[in-house]
A and B are shown apart, each in its own frame.
Chain A
Amino acid sequence: MEVLSANGISKNFGPLWANKNITFHVDEGEIVSLLGENGAGKTTLMNILYGLYQPTEGYIKIRGKERRIGSPREAIDLGISMVHQHFMLVDALTVTENIILGNEPRKGIFTDSSLALGKVSELSEKYGLGLDCNAEVGTLSVGEKQKVELLKALYNDCSVLILDEPTAVLTPLEVEAFFRILQRLRENGKGIILISHKLKETLTIADRIYIIRAGEIVAETTCQGASVESLAELMVGHALDSKIDRNETDDNETVLRFSEVSCREKGRNVIDGISLSVRRGRILGIAGVDGNGQTELSELALGVRKVSDGMIEYHGRDIRNTSVRSRILEGIGYVPEDRQKKGLVNAFTVEDNLILGYEDDARFSRHGIINWHSVDSYADSVISEYDIRCQNRDEKAGALSGGNQQKIVIGRVLEADPDVIIASQPTRGVDIGAVEYIHKKLIEMRNRGKAIMLVSADLDEIMKLSDEIAVIYDGRIVSCAANGKYTKTELGEFMTGAREGDE
């Protein structure tokens, strides 16, 4: 039986149509996937279903009845729950407190804590989630937090569950466990809407797939009739050229070397005895689940964090005590993982952002005085060279799309002709076109003899680009080997610490 259907939903923001005439439905005991790339309009659609936005046109039916969903509260009351891509959990509160929020059992004017704990634990057991309901959420792993989100939905007695990119932060093993839980929910008659841009996973779990592109549903298919290639083509709208030309050189001298590097913060080794070599003409992939020390490792190389033990050498020279500024100018280029927070100043113009960190460079200034004339012409050339779509160099960087913002960050680094490039999650949150472009650029840099350290949580990306793959887990390198030695599953096992191996 149909539990939810969207009928001709459209939504515009000014002249932009984020959703156009979208119609789909989900039945009881069914997993439906909405597949589309970043910016296709999936999240807008979910926010409409969850009452955060109102559709410009169209309507929603719940169990065959037309309903207006005016707020998340109304959505919850109608049996719709949502697990957001970014967890809606408060670290300082316990699992139970997080779950009962908004629907707290009461005893008089007080919260009935024991009743709450009982209810939540019971549900956790029923669905085999195995959570400690008294634990503070801040102490849980990402996979456990995901379960808390699910439990929250179950606690609110949902009949439709919307999952927004639920596997983005999970390791392959956690994904498997997560899918088993979803299957159990399906058997219990829940209707599940899975929003994703991951093709393989969608094929594994979904019963039906809707493909959404540029705000419209362009195809509906079942898993039987689909392949990864056909889905990708539908998603992007044209066939992808994923061919990669590598050339091999003999000169693979080490440019950046970590020797037994440790970094101690708040009484804990966030980096624990890591040894790595980043070499000319090679891409070293660092695979790992977020929060296992990748950021710290990159920032140690840049000098934002200090080494507590061990040695970092750049061209054979100890750089442990040099400043970030001098490292940047001497050719360590860094593409940070979160461009909004770390890579850009949104309130600055495109031009300002294109020299960020390189103000001291001889190209732009002498004796601390900036030559805006040369900066202007440089900015114009980078904008056209990297195809940064903006009105002109004076536009605010914050007004640009994610892909174009990332091009600013990457253009800035590559134009400085660095010897080593540390690219951290360089394609996160950008559309497929920009992903292809960035991959091509990285390979091009590799072929030109740059030493590249690619940090990514996306194993497909790591396996596509790297010459060598190191897996980081809990601040340590648990495996380091040539690309191809391990399968994706094996790498996944390393990533969760389920397996430790040869370095």
Chain B
Amino acid sequence: MADTILSMLGSTLRISLPIILCALGGMFSERCGILNIGMEGIMLLGALFGAIGSYVSGNAYVGLLFAIVLGAVIGLMHAFLTIKCHTNQIIDGVAINLLGDGLSILLLDLVWGNKGKSTEVAGFATLDSIIHDIPVISDLFGSLNILFLMMIILVIASYFYVFRTPWGLRLRVIGDKPEAADSMGINVERSQMLYVMVGAILAAIAGAALSIGSIRYFSKGMVAGRGYMALAALVFGMWHPILIFLSGLFFGFIQALQINLQVYDFPVQFIQMIPYVITIVMLVLTSKNNKGPKNTGKPYIRGIRE
């Protein structure tokens, strides 16, 4: 029993990693006023590029680099379209998701000659090699890797950045009232471009955490709605890094629970539904008093109010 619980907590941590990273990326994007519902597609492509980088070099770090570059490119595209061209942010997000669906299979086929799954690629080493002698700790953290540590650091750093630094103050103002930032000489568009790219990079890393982190291959559609779940975790975490971390853990726990429940003799489909149903429930519970950045979703155009 204790073993089950420990291993479930361990898998909770492992599964929540991409959700938290992606939600953190969403936080930067939405706090600067730009919605990015293309997180799902970016994660998918991030996973693919992570796998490709790792495949061609045999080194997971190169894979991570590939994912980061991919995230930056898509982030730049989304930023350019929504900020400079005022493309509807949701529509462009949908386009990114479509792009992710199509392009991932196109490239999967191109690289591995298979439309379903890649071959095994190099992944990050787990912490198990370092801590396998320590009983409880190794059960909990043994299956994790360097990306998990990076995520923890990012969560804490984001908290201090957003609430304790001048740039964080400016970020909060831009998402809430961009004209106020503009009137104080802050370059709204440039900041937004930057944060949207940061957000997309984090989402791409979240994707890579799937393909070269826990499992060591890429498969078609492997993100399976985690990008959307991250967006829900963002709402549930009230755009606050620490709370996002906690809500991400919760979503991870639900997934872990789901996997553990599958051993029981019960139609597996109903168990697989659980995370999605819970996401809806959480969203309903938190939406009424949601205090998101006020100006998110609208482009900032100087001189035009509302």
Residues of A within 8 A of B183 (CB): 50, 72, 82, 84, 88
B160 near A110 (CB under 8 angstroms)? Answer: yes
Are B185 and A88 interface neighbours, CB within 8 A? no
Q: How far is the CA of A82 from the CA of B185 in the complex (A)?
A: 12
Question: Measured between alpha carbons, how far is A110 from B157 in the docked complex, in Å?
Answer: 12
Q: A88-B180, A90-B176 in contact; A102/B164 too (CB < 8 A)?
A: no
Besides the contacts A76-B184, A110-B165, what 4 more A-B pairs have beta carbons closer than 8 Å?
A72-B184, A90-B180, A101-B180, A340-B306
Q: Whole-angstrom distance from the CB of A266 to the nearest CB of chain B?
A: 11
Q: Closest CB of chain B to A165's CB: distance in Å?
A: 14
In angstroms, Cα B177 to Cα A74, docked, is 21
Q: Which residues of B contact A52 (CB under 8 A)?
A: 182, 302-303
B185-A74 in contact (CB<8A): yes
- Could you tell me the distance in whole angstroms from the C-beta of B300 to the nearest C-beta in chain A? 13
Closest to A44 in B: B303
CB distance from B171 to the nearest CB of A (A): 11
Contact A111 B169 (CB under 8 A): yes
Closest Cβ–Cβ distance, residue A351 to chain B (whole Å): 24
Give the interface size class of chain B.
Answer: 20 to 34
Binary contact track B170-209/A, C-beta < 8 Å → 1, others 0: 1011001101111111110000000000000000000000
Question: B180 — which chain A residues lie within 8 A by C-beta?
Answer: 88-90, 98, 101
Given known contacts A84-B183, A86-B305, A88-B177, A101 and B170 CB-to-CB distance under 8 angstroms: yes
Closest to A340 in B: B306
Q: Which residue of A lies closest to B184 (CB)?
A: A102
- Whether, in the assembled complex, B135 has its beta carbon less than 8 Å from a beta carbon of chain A, the answer is no
Contact A90 B164 (CB under 8 A): no
List, in ascending order, chain B residues with CB within 8 A of A84's CB.
183
11 pairs, A vs B, C-beta closer than 8 Å: A52-B302, A71-B185, A72-B182, A76-B185, A82-B183, A86-B305, A88-B179, A101-B181, A101-B186, A102-B184, A109-B165
Q: B238 → chain A, closest Cβ, in Å? A: 12
Sort A-B residue pairs by CB-CB distance and give the 9 closest, nearest first: A73-B185, A102-B184, A104-B166, A88-B180, A72-B185, A88-B183, A90-B176, A110-B164, A90-B177
B31 to chain A, nearest CB (A): 12
Binding site for A on B (CB under 8 A): 160, 164-166, 169-170, 172-173, 176-177, 179-187, 291, 302-303, 305-306
Which among A47, A71, A103 is the interface contact of B303 at CB below 8 angstroms?
A47
Query: Complex: how many Å from CA A448 to CA B306?
Result: 38
- CB pair B172–A90 under 8 Å, yes or no, is yes
State whether A102 touches B185 (Cβ < 8 A).
yes
Contact partners of A126 in chain B: CB under 8 A: none
Interface residues of A toward B: which range?
20 to 34
Query: Is A419 engaged at the interface, CB distance under 8 Å to the other chain?
Result: no
A111, B165: Cβ atoms closer than 8 Å: yes
A60 to chain B, nearest CB (A): 17
How would residues 42 to 58 of chain A score, 1 for a CB under 8 Å from any chain B CB and 0 otherwise? 00000100101000000
Which parts of A72-92 form the interface with B (CB within 8 Å)?
Answer: 72-77, 82, 84, 86, 88-92
Bound CA span A89–B186, Å: 14
Q: Is A119 an interface residue (CB 8 A)?
A: no
Q: Which residue of B lies closest to A72 (CB)?
A: B185
- Chain B residues near A101 (CB-CB < 8 A): 169-170, 173, 180-181, 184, 186
Instruction: Return the chain B residue nearest A152 by Cβ.
Output: B184
A321-350: contact bitstring with B at CB < 8 Å (1 yes, 0 no)?
A: 000000000000000000011000000000
Q: Is the CB of A92 within 8 A of B176?
A: yes
Chain A residues lying within 8 Å of B172, measured Cβ to Cβ, are 90, 92-93
Closest partner residue, chain A, to B291 (CB atom): A92
A195 to chain B minimum Cβ distance, whole angstroms, is 15
| Given A72-B185, A84-B183: A106 in contact with B166 (beta carbons within 8 A) | yes
Q: Nearest Cβ distance between residue B1 and chain A, in whole angstroms?
A: 46
Distance (whole angstroms) from the CB of B174 to the closest CB of chain A:
10
A15 → chain B closest CB, angstroms: 18
Q: Which residues of B sit under 8 angstroms from A340, Cβ to Cβ?
A: 306
Q: Is the CB of B169 within 8 A of A104?
A: yes
B177 contact set on A, CB distance < 8 A = 88-90
CB distance from A149 to the nearest CB of B (A): 10
Judge whether A111 and B176 touch: CB under 8 Å: no
Alpha-carbon gap, A159 to B201, bound state (A): 44
- Of B176, B177, B302, most buried by chain A (CB within 10 Å of CB) is B177
Distance in angstroms from B52 CB to nearest chain A CB is: 36
CB distance from B116 to the nearest CB of A (A): 45
A88→B164 CA distance, assembly (Å): 21
CA distance A109 to B177 in the complex (A): 24
| Nearest residue, chain A, Cβ from B302 | A52
A50, A73, A111: the one within 8 Å of B166 (CB) = A111
Instruction: Tell me how far the C-beta of B176 lies from the nearest C-beta in chain A, rounded to whole angstroms.
Output: 5
Chain B residues within 8 Å of A97, by CB: 169
What 1/0 mask marks residues of chain A from 251 to 283 whose CB sits below 8 Å from any chain B CB?
Answer: 000000000000000000000000000000000
Minimum Cβ distance to chain B for residue A435 (Å): 21
* Smallest CB gap from B179: residue in A: A88
Contacts of A93 in B (CB 8 A): 169, 172-173
Query: What residues of A have a CB within 8 angstroms of the CB of B166 in the complex?
Result: 104, 106, 111
CB distance from B253 to the nearest CB of A (A): 31
Complex interface: chain A residues within 8 A of B187 (CB): 71
A-side contacts of B182, CB under 8 Å: 52, 72
Interface centre among A84, A97, A106, A109 (most CB of B within 10 A): A109
Residues of B within 8 A of A91 (CB): 176
Alpha-carbon distance between A52 and B181 when the two chains are bound, in angstroms: 13
A196 to chain B: closest CB distance in Å?
Answer: 20
Q: Which of B160, B170, B180, B305 counts the most chain A CB atoms within 10 A?
A: B180
Q: How far is the CB of A458 from chain B (nearest CB, A)?
A: 21
**A217 shortest CB reach to chain B, Å:** 22
A106 CA to B181 CA, complexed, in Å:
18
Interface readout for A101-128 with B: 1 if CB under 8 Å, 0 if not? Answer: 1111010011100000000000000000
Shortest beta-carbon distance from A274 to chain B in Å: 29
B107 to chain A, nearest CB (A): 39
Complexed CA–CA distance, A50 and B182 (Å)? 11
| Cα separation A86 to B179 with both chains bound (whole Å) | 10
- Most chain-A Cβ atoms within 10 A of its Cβ — which of B166, B177, B186, B291? B166
